[in-house]
Amino acid sequence: MLSLDLLFCYMLIILIVLQNLAVAYPRKIFRYDPKEAGAFEGDIILPPSTRGVGEAAQEARWTNGIVPYVIKSGDFNAEQEAVIVKSMRRLEQTVAINNKLCIQFRPKISTDKHFTTIKTGAGCTSSVGQNWYSTKELTLGNGCIHEGTIMHELLHTLVSLMHSFVTGFWHEQSRPDRDNYVTVQYANVLPGLEHAFNKYTTSVDTLGTPYDYESLMHYGSHDFSSNGKPTIVPKNSTAKIGQGHSLSRIDILEVQLYYQCIGPVSGRLIPLYRYTRGYYDHLYTTNGQEIGTTTHGAIGRYGYKYQGVVGQIYDSVGPQPSFTLPFYRYLNILNGQHLYTSNWREIGTNRTGVVIKNWMYEENVGYLYPMSQPNTYPLYHYYHVNQSAHFYTTSSQEIGTTTPGAIGKVGYQYEGIAGYIL
């Protein structure tokens, strides 16, 4: 018979082991197996010519956006295969423009020279691009059969290795500009897995898109943690990373840009008016009748004073140019402040009148670009922590800083670029 003291010791050891396993891989997705030879950043299998180089290889877009695949016989049951195919269909429809497919996954036929084999194995990994072997492999091991995980790995297969990496299909937190947006806490990373947080060189092609905290390709805050503490800390204190379940708006745009999908090319430009009720209360609208005046310095409804036109955005009614995003407006029902964002997930709704955490969705003000375009200007976003106030301007001199997290005039902290307007 075991003594109670000895039994207690055994139980304590088991609890400690289980706790260590939990903090090492806090997310449901086990995306890396240290035994997986050649894995780069945990779940990417590089061609031999580029392993450890981080440089260019050959053109690797899938011809006409078509990715032939084979699901290895006997590796998955019917339910698992259904999830894999459902994930493909979801990815196709998510990046489609006006129901026209931008990319397509279909079963391999005899004439396909290049294709991807989907199989089971250790961890969740994927080969990149089309042109370094005729056969590419996408491995889905235990814990990998989830739509978000599968779409993450499928995005890796879409990448090109032309003359530089394309970050939209690699990992967001490894962009060359990542240190402006996140801090990697290497002291908390599992020993031997530091390479999972490698940073790309400036030769990377970001497709002109901004850093995307919401990307499906962004690690979570505790991924690969050795001690339960964060491995990645956003410099924007309100940002959430590692959502892991769906493509962000920027993810979608990057696929559309890279595969040169064609959408509407025209739209009606309208002015974006700015009003104020003091340093910490600003209203932006494309409807001059909402406040009732567009006379500089005049005071209209609700005590708002007209300040001028910030720039032009595209009308929310009618067609919009390709690769533009909606500019949503929310009202804080407690203090009357307004928030504007191109990502409705930041609040959690884009349904008129719905309130989440005191923010009520009001409208889509119009459409702007998420990346720089000819003749566009950045719309800088600032936030005042004490006043819970948001401020937007095309003139960085108004607040005096564009350093992420830095505090400028009248206490406003720089958050980033909300978008680009004309």
| Catalytic center residues | 153
CB neighbours of residue 103 within 10 Å? 25
From residue 375, give the alpha-carbon distance in Å to each of 95, 272, 275, 318, 421: 26, 16, 24, 22, 9
Cα distance between residue 361 and residue 69, in whole Å: 42
In degrees and rounded to multiples of 5, residue 97 shows phi and psi of -115, 120
The residue among 353, 345, 350, 408 whose CA lies nearest residue 381 is: 408
Cα distance between residue 193 and residue 69, in whole Å: 30
Cα distance between residue 155 and residue 151, in whole Å: 6
Structure tokens at 345: 């997930």
Helix 249-258 to helix 78-95 angle, to the nearest 10 degrees?
A: 80
Residues contacting 306, CB < 8 A, separation 6+:
273, 274, 275, 291, 293, 294, 295, 296, 297, 298, 299, 300
